[in-house]
Amino acid sequence: MNQPQIVLLKEGTDTSQGKPQLVSNINACQTIVDAVRTTLGPRGMDKLIVDSSGKATISNDGATIMKLLEIVHPAAKTLVDIAKSQDAEVGDGTTSVVLLAGEILKQVKPFVEEGVHPRVIIKAIRKAVLLCINKINEMAVRIEKQSKEEQRSLLEKCAATAMSSKLIHQQKDFFSKMVVDAVLSLGELLPLNMIGIKKISGGSLEESQLVSGVAFKKTFTYAGFEMAPKSYKNCKIALLNIELELKAERDNAEVRVDNVKEYQKVVDVEWQILYNKLAKIHESGANVVLSKLPIGDVATQYFADRNMFCAGRVPEDDLKRTMKACGGAVMTTANDIKPSVLGQCEYFEERQIGGERFNIFQGCPQAQTCTMILRGGAEQFLEETERSLHDAIMIVRRTIKHDSVVAGGGAIEMELSKILRDYSRTIAGKEQLLIAAIAKSLEVIPRQLCDNAGFDATNILNKLRQKHAKDGQWFGVDITKEDIVDNYENCVWEPSIIKINALTAAAEAACMILSVDETIKSPKPADAPMAGGMGMGRGMGRPM
């Protein structure tokens, strides 16, 4: 009669399952999508996010916004992950990917509610994405690397499109040249970390400049520094991880002495050690001495007397970049400093840029590297500029690697939508409706571009559908006039890899959310002692 109740999970565990769970996950994703929706496109707005420590960030970048939102909903976190992965993979299209995933979910939600099995929906999504990717590959325009000029202008257009939705869109011509110069100055492998970005607040954006070579802010220096020369030709660089400073005794060991002579000996020895190190560095033939650790006043003057330049407390990544660019090795002891471990560069100088002094190494033999020095107003503004340039740099690198582009501004999405709709008419059953729904979800990109610009989206989408039904495969939204335009001729180009990646990631995320039908959430550790402690509030079936 009295059946014992079976308790599987800790008390306080939150579970929900089945259709309501699916629908609630979809709704949660919708909320996130609404948060980033308005940032899409050239007329998109920016978000100002203040985190728990009070730091304010202004951004238009989907991945940055999603990261800062500190989302806790387990299913909605998937969207954060796809934005991050898009950022890491291709660097741009982060808002689009979130929007697409959200819209696919929104369009298939009615089917979920009506009881179509998620597996059927997932199959349809996979099928649709496959069709889209094939179509993109077929349509993408390959730009042959015939001439350098042609390649340059193509790259600049892609960079300009990536930047046109950012805060710095008014300076996009200026920056797209700079970004392309920067990327083209890299070696074959196009390593991202060889482009340094330094920010100096003050001045205007147009005063930003590109330095071919390594540049970093002048480090803290002691008296005696003024006498050192500030430029060298064919200079040899010693890279050190050695402290060149007399230590205050209390930081070192404790030495007890009972007369002045003994004390003098200790001091003498210390000076001797320092002078030995300095002499070794001098003998190696270096002109420029960089150290991660401090270089004190004695050392500074010693070097200055011998026409050498020194900088202590150089940030680690700058030191590494100098090493990669100029060769040599970072030494941790002064004993083995030989000419062979010194780096080299053609020209070194210390130069004033705005209110800051910069150490600049040019003509580095080992690796091609460059540094962008950004000028501009507020710090948040500079940070957003850096993020926007990062997007553009990634896009240019991508385009160099896969030199094929498609037209943006919703053109490619409209064409894919048309292809899917046409395909859906050739099949029967549930799948037909599902593919048609996915076709509709692709229209979210042009629709949102219109909405964000304040255009009548319905009107423009109708025009676009009509155009794509005939032969206007590159027609998309014209953001300057409230109309449609051939975006390929209008030079709104995006690497096809962004679109492929965005579609695959969005579909993958949507499928993942659809395949979850139960969430089991353990009670928070803070609540746990209450629930399990001292036999209080235990489940009924548990032995006491």
CB 211 within 8 A of CB 371: yes
The reply to whether 403 belongs to the active site is no
Residue 93 or 196 with smaller CB distance to ligand ADP: 93
Least Cβ distance, residue 162 to Mg ion (angstroms): 5
According to the binding rule CB under 6 A, does residue 219 interact with ligand ADP?
Answer: no
Question: In Å, how far are 215, 340, 493, 524, 541 from 10, measured between CA atoms?
Answer: 58, 65, 55, 11, 12
Residue 240 or 502 with smaller CB distance to ligand ADP: 502
Distance CA 462, CA 456 (A): 10
Residue 92 or 508 with smaller CB distance to Mg ion: 92
Taking CB under 6 A as the criterion, the residue among 494, 501, 510, 513 binding ligand ADP is 494
Which of the 8 DSSP states describes residue 129? H
Which string of x and - marks every residue 391-410 that binds ligand ADP (by CB under 6 A)? -----------------xx-
102 binding partner (options ligand ADP, Mg ion, none; Cβ < 5 to 8 Å by kind) = none
Residue nearest to ligand ADP (CB): 408
How many helices and strands in the chain, by DSSP H and E?
A: 17, 19
Among the listed residues 39, 57, 61, 219, the single catalytic one is 61
In residues, how long is the chain?
544
Output the DSSP codes for 241-290.
---BSPPPGGGS-----SSHHHHHHHHHHHHHHHHHHHHHHHHTT-SEEE
Residue 46 or 346 with smaller CB distance to ligand ADP: 46
Least Cβ distance, residue 442 to ligand ADP (angstroms): 11
The reply to whether 13 belongs to the active site is no
Burial class, 177, CB count within 10 angstroms (exposed 0-12 / middle 13-18 / buried 19+): middle
Least Cβ distance, residue 336 to ligand ADP (angstroms): 50
Question: In Å, how far are 228, 314, 322 from 371, measured between CA atoms?
Answer: 24, 16, 11
| Size of residue set near ligand ADP by CB under 6 A | 23
Residue nearest to Mg ion (CB): 92
Taking CB under 6 A as the criterion, the residue among 445, 461, 484, 500 binding ligand ADP is 445
Distance CA 388, CA 527 (A): 43
Site for ligand ADP in 157-176 (CB under 6 A): 161, 164-165
According to the binding rule CB under 6 A, does residue 102 interact with ligand ADP?
Answer: no
Cβ-based neighbours of 177, under 8 Å, separated by 6 or more: 156
Among the listed residues 39, 57, 78, 94, the single catalytic one is 94
Per CB under 6 A, the segment of 86-94, 236-244, 263-271, 327-335 that binds ligand ADP is: 86-94
Among the listed residues 57, 95, 219, 300, the single catalytic one is 95
Distance CA 154, CA 146 (A): 12
The reply to whether 15 belongs to the active site is no
Distance CA 122, CA 373 (A): 47
Per CB under 6 A, the segment of 34-42, 114-122, 283-291, 330-338 that binds ligand ADP is: 34-42
Q: Point out which residues bind Mg ion (CB under 5 A).
A: 92
Per CB under 6 A, the segment of 23-31, 41-49, 232-240, 456-464 that binds ligand ADP is: 41-49
Q: Is 302 helix (H, G, I), strand (E, B) or coil?
A: helix
Distance CA 347, CA 496 (A): 40
Question: In Å, how far are 82, 99, 234, 447, 539 from 506, measured between CA atoms?
Answer: 7, 8, 52, 17, 42
Taking CB under 6 A as the criterion, the residue among 22, 35, 41, 244 binding ligand ADP is 41
The reply to whether 456 belongs to the active site is no
Residues in contact with ligand ADP by the rule CB under 6 A: 39-42, 44, 60, 62, 92-96, 161, 164-165, 408-409, 445, 449, 477, 479, 492, 494
Catalytic residues: 61, 94-95, 391
